[in-house]
Amino acid sequence: MGFTDKALECSECGNTFTFTADEQEFYANKGYANEPKRCPACREARRAQRSSYGGYRSSRQMYAAVCAECAKDCEVPFEPREDRPVYCSDCYSRLKPSGR
């Protein structure tokens, strides 16, 4: 199948960009059904923005706790309960079951 360069309009900035024949072939080989919606500059900016947020982890609420092993203050991503021990990351790494 022969591919030829295509001019597309970026949905983000409105500028026209070229979807090259090589890129089209790459998309086809990967099984991608849709053409890119953003120009390379906007795609890169979006990628950088997403990675700077750290995914869901940056918005995750942390809770103060005291490690049941070493009594060090720490933070955990869940609300500690009185009936369950909480470990700091160092102690947890040392104590966790080897199956994980």
Please state, in angstroms and as integers, the Cα–Cα distance from residue 65 to each residue in 23, 57, 73, following that order.
Answer: 50, 18, 6
pLDDT of residue 84: 92
pLDDT in tens, 66-80: 999 999 999 988 899
Q: How far apart are CA 97 and CA 90, in angstroms?
A: 14
Complete DSSP assignment for 47-58:
HHHHHHHTGGGG
Q: Considering the entire predicted model, what is its pTM?
A: 0.49
For 22-49, the pLDDT digits (tens) are: 999 999 999 999 999 999 999 998 888 8
Tell me if 24 sits within 8 A of 3, measured CB to CB. Answer: yes
Domain boundaries, the chain: 6-57, 61-95
User: What distance in Å separates the CA atoms of residue 35 and residue 24, rounded to the nearest whole number?
Assistant: 8
